[in-house]
A and B are shown apart, each in its own frame.
Chain A
Amino acid sequence: MIRVENIKKYFPIKDGFFNNKSGDVKAVENVSFEIPEGEILGLVGESGSGKSTLGRAIIRLIEPTQGNIFYKNKNITKLSDSEMRKLRKDFQIIFQDPYASLDPRKKIYDIISQGLKVHEKMDKNSINQKVEEIIQDVGLQKEHLNRYPHEFSGGQRQRIGIARALVLNPKFIIADEPVSALDVTIQAQILNLILELKKKYSLTILFISHDLSVINQIADRVMVMYLGHIVEVANTSNLFSNPQHPYTRSLIETAPQIFRKNKKKTLLKGDIPSPINPPSGCVFRTRCPNPGIDCKGGNIEMGLIEVEPGHWVDQCCANCN
Chain B
Amino acid sequence: MTSEPIISTNDLNLWYHDTHALQSISMTISKNQVTALIGPSGCGKSTLLRCFNRLNDLIDCVKIRGEILLDNENIHAAGTDVVMLRKKVGMVFQKPNPFPKSVYENVAYGPRVHGIKNKGELDSIVEQSLRDAALWDEVRDRLHDSALGLSGGQQQRLCIARTLAVEPKVILMDEPCSALDPIATAKIEKLIDALKQDYTVIIVTHNMQQAARVSNYTGFMYLGKLIEFGQTNQIFENPREDLTENYITGRFG
A and B associate in one complex? no
Residues of A whose CB lies within 8 Å of any CB of B are: none
